[in-house]
Chains A and B, each alone.
Chain A
Amino acid sequence: MLSTLLAIAISLIATHTSSLVADEATIHGLLAGRCLECHSGNDPRGGLDLSSRDGLAKGSDSGIIFDRQSWESSLLLNVIESGDMPPKGKLTDDEKKALRDWIKSGAVLPETPIDRFKFTSPYRAGYDWWALQPLLEPNPVPKSNGNLNEQDIRDPIDLYVSRGLSEHQLTANPSAAPRSLIRRVYLDLTGLPPSYEEVSEFEKDPSDDAYKAIVERLLDSPAYGERWARHWLDVVRFGESDGFERNYPRQSSWHYRDWVIDALNQDIAYDHFVRMQIAGDLIDPNDTGFAAVSFLVSGVHNTVVGSSDRMIRIAKQDELEEKIGTLSQTFLGLTAQCARCHEHKFDPISSESYYRLAASLTGVAHGEREVLQASQQAREQALEKQRQEWLERASALDQRALARLDSDPDRQRLARQPGERANTDSQSAANMPLPIAAWNFENPNGEANADTLADSVRGLKAELHGNGLRTPRGLLLDGQSYLATEPIGVDISSKTLSAWVTVDPLEQSGGGIISLQTLDGSIFDAIVYGERDAKQWMAGSNGFARSQSFQAPQEDSPADQRVHIAIRYQADGTVQAFRNGVPYGNPYRTSTQTFQGNNSQFLFGLRHGPPGGNRFFKGVVHSAACFDSALSDDTIALLGASQSRGWDLKVAWETMTESEREERQELRNALAEIELELKTVRSQLRKKIYTVISNANPGPTKLLVRGDVYNEAHEVRPGGISSVGNDPNDFGLGSDASDAERRASLAAWITNANRALLARVLVNRVWHYHFGSGIVDTPNDFGFNGGRPSHPELLDHLATRFLDRGMKLKDLHRWIVHSGTYRRSSEPNASNMNKDSSNRWLWRYPVRRLDGESARDSMLKMAGVLNAQLGGPSYVDVDFRDNNGTTYYSPKALETEDCFRRTVYRFNPRCERSPLLDVLDCPDPSTTAPKRANTTTPLQALSLLNNPFIFQMSEALVGQLRPSTGASKKTDQELVGPLFRSILLRDPDPDEETYSRELVSKYGATALARALWNTNEFLVLE
């Protein structure tokens, strides 16, 4: 036994470290495997450190244990030969002899302590472990092989498999019958069976081209993603409740499931798929990214930790172990979680590496957050853009009409409001004082741009911040942008601020239209919308020092109607507002504020600096002015009536031609419609996702000796596992690094440190699902305790090809399902069975029971009741009961129609599961399930016979085959054929027909449906 193992170990070593002397490797391996676990490190057992020359020389607590001269009577030899050491798992005679020889020759040890991870030995894996090595250069495979016919070699895969077959004197099965093959590839790729018609068609034309077309169709269908996402969800222990005491349901974690389905359907590159799950929120900070990264938190979460410091610390460490274990097994096939309390006993993973991973993930917390939904955001932007275009067109129409009115004195009377005074005539206009500064933001040239924003009086230059635009209508502000001028140059005390403005939407608060402020924003007077009183105008000021409510009506101008607002600041402190030229609410008296010319500026769209909070305005500022005096009521009335008379659309309307009116009306209707739609879209703009809550400052991580939360050793910085690759395993981040920085580095490390391993693990998983068993039959564990590859060259061939072609899963599926190996018949063959009953060498396609999802989904599809809805919230087949904060789930007595969706969409709480799915080996999502059991039990038989779902489906199927109306209503006996075709995808033979007719004649067609769903033929994939 030992010699075989050593031979294997040595051959592995020899591949990669040819200069090594075998003896040294043997002895070091033996010591590392059998002695150093106790006799090395900071606190060696019995005081004896056997890892270095000095340690041996120093001896143990009992004194000197080895002396070259009297080696034969040394304690070292004695305890080994007597069998006292090692205390557990006795040494073999070969091992004892090897150690004796070593002691005899002087018990030579290196100066620096033996690195226990250095060599693979019969006891553990070292740095030279096969899975960590670069991909093998493929050996040329003979093009033809005695055991395979030419037509069976369809892919290089077959050459590698054929070598194993011939080495074991096995004969490959011939190709499967078309009916088996099409059913196999349908269920395998999509988890759903073909219809009888699809089977018949393929039986008529079972050509390679026909098969190829089917494969492409299946890979393109959304059912592919639904099927393969389920496999992935097993591996990542995706569940929809917290587990532990409270087991609170997670109603928003299904976004992750949908993300996986989408990602697989889109066939995104696998390394990107991996990165997204570790750092999606950083790569793509919207719903997609946040959904992807919830991989990290889709496991259990203890929400009742208690009050003691110890329990809090332990819970934190347990949480980290859960994440590290899932992460390292899922992507690297390594069980890093085993190194929490000590160096990994079997693989080259140090505690240091474990805590580097812990430091990389320590800033990840569980939680629900509202996230911008990218698709809805794009839609909102498109709708808003359209709406602005229509508003521009409406504005242009109105302005054209009003301009016509201005040039027609006879009709000017129409423009007057009932209360408007007659003397607001051209003479008054001529006497109007010159403003300090004035802006007309309307850009008649049509293009939206940021040019020529200077005022027209002083030429004050201004800078536009954010995405604000100057459009034909004016300055379009999006609630995150503003315009700021250079210092004004003259002092201002009493004043009048005036602006034409469109408020859009009316529901906003705190935005400034025009503001006169000191350069640091600490003192300001401004026209402000809705800050204290909803939808009312206010004279905003620093700390409301000069602000009181005007107690005026709420603004109600629609988005296609501008209003004029003026606020007058008199020298005696009286502040009064005017809307469309007439007084707005009540004036009040307060103090006055003088603004120094060299330290003051104007702002538009921002109440005051610095930018942020609710200080931004949304809408359009058309024009504005500031006067350094308190204007008269008449002058203000004139300001509110002259130029852009947008406030009176009735007037504009009356001057319009018939065709203008028609266009204007259309625009009005279109605007009303689009605003309604926008309202809906905006309400869906954010969605709740159960995902990572990222800690900006997670702080330092300390190595915990023996995993003891109170035994902290040195600080460990974020990094990866040393033995995995040459990439920097220390991310170069300090203890002050944010979670974002840590995870970004981790995502890069995992996908780059050892791409051979990354690809091997994934390729093997895919193979596992296609064939029921992986090339390595422990898909989560490529370490010492895991399986060894049955076909190492095939594994590396596939990994190489996968990497070369951009890591696309669908390519991998194509290679596999087109191979001769995949297309073999599954028929048993006595001679092969004797040599290889477990089919390790793939002489046949393996026979397996359908997994629970495929069985249930098949029934739904056959019964014609499968709701094909893609994605969305999970269907719920359990009742929830909350008992003082703890949630209990119990299966509903009967599945309701809303449950008739694919099983991947089932709400999947931890603890109570589904009676039917349980007995069909669907795993508990409490922990990762890299492979499922495939059992056949009496309880399974009982559920398949008696679960109410089986009866529901039987009745639905019979109902579908025999519509209740119509002349051609079939008798029960006539349904025998259709039932066989629906469920077994074939016609009954005469005996079966006779036998079945007897059953249905007595008990009806549903009895036969129930029976057929319980046959091996339905339940088995072959």
Chain B
Amino acid sequence: MNPWNTSMHRRDWFQWVNRGVGATAALAMLARDGVLRAADGSPANNGPARAKRAIQICLVGGLSHLDSMDYKPELDRLHGKTLNTTEKPDIFFGQMGLLRKSDWAFRPRGSSGLVLSELFPNIAEQADLLTVVRSMVTESANHTPALFFENSGFEFNGFPSMGSWLSYGLGSIADDLPAYVVLPDGRGGPNGGASNWTNGFLPGQNQGVVFHAGTHPVRDLNPISSVSQAEDVATRQTIDWLNRRNLERHGHEDILSARIQSYELAAKMQSSVPLVSEFADETQATKDLYGIDQPETADMGRRCLLGRRLLEKGVRFVQLYSGGPIAGSPRTSWDAHENVFENHSLEAKRIDQPVAALLADLKARGMLDDTLVLFTTEFGRTPFAQSAADMAGPGRDHNRYAFSTWMAGAGLRPGFAYGESDDIGWKVANNPVTWHDLHATILHLFGIDHEQLVYYHNGIHRRLTNVHGHVVHDLIG
């Protein structure tokens, strides 16, 4: 009756030793399946996996859909008019100014004719690769709960993030790199810090591993500088020798074998991580493509390139943040309460070229077929200005009722837009997509049924999608 009693280290062991997609997942899920679906024995996986890996660009602070992906001609017409409503909207500061048109021009792009603004000119050139969702909705108009929700499907601290679920369910493709890597904005971590990539109640190795810039990309990767490599090697030989003697003396013990193995894998990581973090083998053309030598794009360019390299080497999920701490002046995130034009121009300049380069590079390397690219934000911004009621000021407040996101690769329908907001982009008009839906869809692309990827915690089999979520099949090609 107690199938969760399988010893944890055994699972860890398999997670690291078994290679290849699905091996650990199948194993882990079989165990769980025995509990959950004993009656009808429905399979854990969900058809073929279109995605093997994913990279998420996470825009912190709230990107204005009205100024980027969701063109509203009606807003041009109604600019400076009042939004006739008696509703007390659930926004953050509560100040409702007059309606405000976009600060950027929109036009159809590529052969698909996808309409995008001038905010991201380079990304817009890749329009034919994009699958835009214009009917996103979320629960909270408050940054941190909304960001937690985007990451974990819950508004609270302590729930595993999507990357951790993928790590738990699928493990890493390579055994010498972690499954889930996080690359925060060079200006600082997002609000909620490491809670955004926490493993929550999942085992610790599923936590997002932060790669830093510089010579020590991963904490504790190497010993302090006074230790020579020879000493390090000799010390580790001693550890191995002592552990193996222990094994001989006491006979087989899982925990001991796992320990011996973990030190071997640690050594492999020590050599793989610096290799992947250095760009020595990249051509100058590639570096130029990502803009790593220009001051505005250097931070994101470097991280996008590192992201591609990590994916190439077998990392399952890479998460890049655009935007650091929410508060502050000038803002270092997309939280354009004061002035959308100034803020978004600055932020877009930092990421437009690198993200476009990432798409092009993945495509050129043939990786886009089974790599999922996500470009997301925790909520959108209001069609009315955040200003006095008789003004169309330059800033916009949070909008949880409608916002946009785009995805690419992994068998999605390219050059396609799904769902609609209303005429002014205030609320979703049709085909609403929740984070649970998007998460379910992403897991589906990885070949996982979101209702089957579960972990028992506090009385319930927890899922990334809580008790909700529907796969949006229309997004898939």
Contacts and interface: CB of A to CB of B under 8 A. Distances in A.
Interface string A938-971: 1111110111100100000000000000000000
A984 to B, nearest CB: 9
B142 A245 contact: yes
Contacts of B275: none
A783 interface: yes
B126 interface: no
A933 interface: yes
A512 B200 CA distance: 62
A911 B253 contact: no
Greatest chain A CB density within 10 A among B94, B241, B246 is at: B241
A1008 interface: yes
Greatest chain B CB density within 10 A among A309, A886, A934, A1016 is at: A1016
A304 interface: yes
B328 interface: yes
Contacts of B198: 924, 926
Greatest chain A CB density within 10 A among B191, B209, B230 is at: B191
A335 interface: yes
A911 to B, nearest CB: 4
Contacts of A781: 458-459
Contact of B192 (A307, A311, A911): A911
A432 to B, nearest CB: 76
Given A311-B141, A941-B265, A788 B2 contact: yes
Interface in A980-1009: 991-992, 995-996, 999, 1002-1003, 1007-1008
A725 interface: no
B464 to A, nearest CB: 16
Contacts of A300: 156-158
Given A778-B456, A912-B193, A939-B205, A1016 B255 contact: yes
A1012 B246 CA distance: 12
A840 B2 CA distance: 10
Interface residues of A, number: 105
A883 B220 contact: no
Nearest to A947: B220
Interface in A66-113: 89-90, 92
A1002 B234 contact: yes
A777 interface: yes
Contact of A913 (B144, B194, B262): B194
Interface in B296-332: 325-328
A883 B328 contact: yes
Contacts of A849: 9, 255
A847 interface: yes
B242 A992 contact: yes
Contacts of B230: 1002-1003
B204 A918 contact: yes
A790 B235 CA distance: 43
Greatest chain B CB density within 10 A among A322, A335, A911 is at: A911
A678 to B, nearest CB: 45
A785 B157 contact: no
Contacts of A777: 2, 4-5
B258 interface: yes
B39 interface: yes
A337 B460 CA distance: 11
B237 to A, nearest CB: 8
A1015 interface: yes
A245 B192 contact: yes
A306 B92 contact: yes
Given A847-B255, A945-B266, A1014-B239, A787 B2 contact: yes
Contacts of A837: 7
A838 B5 contact: yes
A298 interface: no
B92 A1011 contact: no
B458 A308 contact: no
B60 to A, nearest CB: 12
B477 interface: no
B366 interface: no
B263 A941 contact: yes
Interface stretch (B24-32, B221-229, B416-424): B221-229
Given A90-B40, A933-B8, A934-B8, A915 B2 contact: no
A279 B258 CA distance: 46
Interface string B169-186: 000000000100000000
B16 interface: yes
Contact of A941 (B93, B231, B262): B262
A942 B193 contact: no
B15 to A, nearest CB: 9
B195 A785 contact: no
A786 interface: yes
Interface in B421-451: none
Contacts of B258: 936
A773 B4 CA distance: 11
B189 interface: yes
Contacts of B189: 888
B459 A329 contact: yes
B89 A308 contact: yes
Given A911-B194, A995-B238, A780 B39 contact: no
A827 B249 CA distance: 10
Which secondary structure dominates where chain A touches chain B? Answer: loop
B382 to A, nearest CB: 13
A996 B157 contact: no
B4 A787 contact: yes
A1010 B193 contact: no
A308 B192 contact: no
Nearest to B202: A933
B256 interface: yes
Interface string B25-58: 0000000000000111000000000000000000
A892 interface: no
Interface in B367-413: none
A430 B411 CA distance: 117
Nearest to A991: B245
Contacts of B140: 311
B246 to A, nearest CB: 6
B365 interface: no
Contact of A938 (B7, B90, B223, B265): B265
A89 B39 contact: yes
A1015 B242 contact: yes
B122 interface: no
A911 B460 contact: no
B476 interface: no
Contacts of B227: 951
Given A307-B94, A885-B327, 16 more contacts: A92-B39, A245-B142, A245-B145, A306-B92, A337-B458, A337-B459, A780-B459, A785-B460, A827-B250, A883-B328, A886-B325, A889-B193, A910-B157, A926-B198, A939-B209, A946-B224
26 contacts: A244-B144, A244-B157, A247-B192, A308-B92, A308-B94, A311-B140, A335-B458, A335-B460, A884-B325, A884-B327, A886-B191, A886-B325, A927-B158, A927-B200, A933-B204, A937-B12, A937-B16, A938-B265, A938-B266, A939-B205, A941-B265, A942-B218, A945-B266, A999-B235, A1003-B230, A1007-B234
Interface of A: 1-2, 89-90, 92, 243-245, 247, 300, 302, 304-311, 318, 322, 325, 329, 334-335, 337-338, 346-347, 773, 777-778, 780-781, 783, 785-788, 790, 827-828, 830, 837-838, 840, 847-849, 883-886, 888-889, 891, 910-913, 915-916, 918-919, 921, 924, 926-930, 933-943, 945-948, 951, 991-992, 995-996, 999, 1002-1003, 1007-1008, 1010-1012, 1014-1017, 1019-1020
For the complex of A and B, the 8 pairs showing the least CB-CB separation, nearest first, are A335-B459, A926-B158, A884-B327, A245-B144, A926-B157, A927-B158, A941-B266, A938-B265
Interface of B: 1-2, 4-9, 12-13, 16, 38-40, 88-94, 140-145, 155-158, 178, 188-189, 191-195, 198, 200-201, 203-205, 207, 209, 218-224, 227-228, 230-231, 234-236, 238-239, 241-243, 245-246, 250-253, 255-256, 258-260, 262-263, 265-266, 268-270, 325-328, 456, 458-461
